[in-house]
Chains A and B, each alone.
Chain A
Amino acid sequence: MKKAQMKNQRFLVVPRSRSAQIKMTETIGVLFIFFVLILFGIIFYYQYQKVSLVEKQQELVAARAMDTTLKVLFLPELICTKGEAEPEDNCFDMMKLRHVNETFKEYLTKYYFNLFSYSRIYVQPVYPPAEEPIMLYNKETPPQEDGNRSWTHREPTYFVVALKDELKGTAISEYGLGYVVVEVYS
């Protein structure tokens, strides 16, 4: 008997029927908490995905705006040139700028739409002060069937540019200061 007792010391002894009940309740409790945690996880992940999807969308629109801005900044129709010399960075020639809108309109579907897609591009002179911005390109997304506008957001990108004006009548080129705004419709 003593030997048997000694052996029993290696086991946990619980009344059988009661222990099964406790175990069942325990298992149900653990499973409940586990599924609650999983549910929380799923809700959290869903919310995160929703936010990150919107962010990703905005990022893509911003990247498109950036690409369009770079195209505008280096567009031969606008950039300052001096004969065969290298074009000047971040500089628009006012003489070109004043007439480029007509060219853009004329070749809109053939060429410029592929470059700028649905966007609005304009130059705002800051110094010397000028009231009106110079509109270069404006193509909105086609309106909805009920006539309302189809875009919900306009992502703007700004770049400061020098505005070279050779019509000032001096021997040396003179530069104003302005900024180009590229707004992409989405």
Chain B
Amino acid sequence: MMAIINKKGQMKNQRFLVVPSSRKAQTEMIGLVVIVILITLGMLFAAQFALKESPQKKIFTRKGLSYSTMSTIMKTTVYEPNCKGDFKIKVNPQIGKDLLEDCARNFELAPDGYSLYKCRDQHSCVFLKEFVTELLNDTLGSWNKHYEFSAVLIQATEDKPTKLFDPPITDSKSGGCQRKERDSSGLFPIHTSKGLVQAELFLCD
């Protein structure tokens, strides 16, 4: 790549390295391309971390656990003093079938008014709130899971559903699952004479 200009010039040029400026630009371009490739690889690697989805197993467990907890709570029979209601045949009430229905029917009279069941000498809504909290704290709470239990009454005469537990039943530590990645048990509907009661449990880590 020596430039031959003339005899004198040739002599002079032997002491210098002469690089064509176009070739130098090419080399620089290759360097830039290598840097861009390295940065792209780095970003792809970082994206792999950032976009890593939470494992399916975890979601499945949380969903399954919320459903199983909710269905079990709904079935649970309550053995508490004064819980048997005004019946000739004394039967222990179930949370979903009896107590939640009673709470929905006599919701307006809570906390001190009439309810069919007076477990622990409390109105059924007050008792339910206390009892469900106990059950959830003994299970989900002891495994450091956060939860939110809510129940609404949908009446034909009302525009908006009425919240039976306001605020909803939550664990004391986190105050529920608002603004968190959560899974729902799905809605558990109960038909009552007052309207449709829909109960739901949210679970989050």
Q: Which of B17, B18, B94 contacts A175 (CB 8 A)?
A: B94
- In the assembled complex, A62 has its CB within 8 A of some CB on chain B: yes
CA distance A4 to B92 in the complex (A): 112
- In the assembled complex, A114 has its CB within 8 A of some CB on chain B: no
Contact A170/B91 with A20-B17, A59-B57, A89-B71 known, Cβ cut-off 8 Å: yes
Pair B76/A14 contact, Cβ less than 8 Å = no
- In the assembled complex, B5 has its CB within 8 A of some CB on chain A: yes
CA distance A174 to B94 in the complex (A): 8
- In the assembled complex, A82 has its CB within 8 A of some CB on chain B: no
Q: Please encode chain A, from 60 to 99, with 1 for each CB lying within 8 Å of some chain B CB and 0 for all others.
A: 0011001000000100000000000000011100000000
- In the assembled complex, A128 has its CB within 8 A of some CB on chain B: yes
Chain A interface: which of B19-27, B154-162, B187-195?
B19-27
Chain A interface: which of B8-16, B112-120, B121-129, B172-180?
B8-16
Pair B135/A177 contact, Cβ less than 8 Å = yes
Closest chain B residue, CB of each to CB of A73? B68
Pair B65/A162 contact, Cβ less than 8 Å = no
Pair B65/A158 contact, Cβ less than 8 Å = yes
Contact A162/B75 with A11-B20, A15-B16, A172-B91 known, Cβ cut-off 8 Å: yes
Chain A residue numbers with a CB within 8 Å of B57 are 59, 62-63, 66
CA distance A26 to B173 in the complex (A): 60
A interface, size bucket = 35 or more
Q: Which of A1, A62, A73, A160 contacts B6 (CB 8 A)?
A: A1
**9 contacting pairs across A/B (C-beta < 8 A):** A4-B5, A15-B16, A59-B57, A73-B68, A91-B75, A127-B138, A160-B72, A171-B91, A176-B77
Q: Please encode chain A, from 150 to 186, with 1 for each CB lying within 8 Å of some chain B CB and 0 for all others.
A: 0000000111111000000011101111010000000
- In the assembled complex, B139 has its CB within 8 A of some CB on chain A: yes
- In the assembled complex, A57 has its CB within 8 A of some CB on chain B: no
Chain A residue numbers with a CB within 8 Å of B38 are 37
Q: Which of A7, A91, A127 contacts B3 (CB 8 A)?
A: A7
Contact A14/B16 with A4-B9, A179-B139 known, Cβ cut-off 8 Å: yes
CA distance A176 to B139 in the complex (A): 13
Q: Which of B15, B64, B72, B138 contacts A162 (CB 8 A)?
A: B72
Chain A residue numbers with a CB within 8 Å of B60 are 66
- In the assembled complex, A16 has its CB within 8 A of some CB on chain B: yes
Pair B17/A19 contact, Cβ less than 8 Å = yes
Chain B residue numbers with a CB within 8 Å of A19 are 16-17
Pair B17/A14 contact, Cβ less than 8 Å = yes
Chain A residue numbers with a CB within 8 Å of B140 are 160
- In the assembled complex, B40 has its CB within 8 A of some CB on chain A: no
